[in-house]
Structure 1
């Protein structure tokens, strides 16, 4: 049965997408917490920081790169700094901004967590989907992501 305002195919596609988000993402988050003691959000930030070509990144740029709102990133980084996972420093060029870098403790945790998470992702994707299905998933995800960036960018003031 279609959701009001949607045709049957639109409704089924939305529900299928939603089902993945409500089952897979919490599962992966639990796996991270159980195996490494960090939250899924901490994991995402640590991975992003560990993959940087530079030693630090502007907090706003990190938020945008991860598709997060700046306020969410700011709160997350503050909690992670309290836990010793990252270090926040004033940006030398703009004292209103902060740069974020991964600490030795954060890097060690990421080095343990990344292979564990990679195995779990492989279990939930590579062992379930064919190569063709994975390529289709990538294509679909990129189409939706590009639409969102173009028409509904994050951290843009909304007119009331």
Structure 2
């Protein structure tokens, strides 16, 4: 056994943790005690209960976009058939990109082709039921998923 390995094994705690008699630990110990009492009072309390956790939503390959454009807005929407869509508005390109999202038992995947629409801006309305899009010709379009529902033209 080398001297370095012997030194690592002799630590009573990990190098990042304060020692048991540290003043830093005494600051947090009342909080830890109160928290553990709360857990004892509520045994059904689960700290890790989560219905949905999005760690990584989307990555666009740099080969497809030579400029490496990043989305200004990202929002989820759905159509009248309750199909979910992930929408990405890229302001510098003036594009709204949308793709269908499929929920399965084990994970969330994308389905179908990427829908690309040239526009000035886009946003979800009515809790994601519709997507309002400001077109390049100053028209306002309403989309349900990838289907255009209505158009309003505003004269200059």
Q: Bin the TM-score by the shorter chain.
A: under 0.3
Structure 1-normalised TM-score?
Answer: 0.23
Structure having the larger proportion of residues in strand? 2
Structure with the higher helix share, 1 or 2: 1
Higher relative contact order (CA 8 A, sep 6+): 1
The TM-score with structure 2 as length reference comes to 0.23
Q: Which structure is larger by alpha-carbon Rg, 1 or 2? A: 2
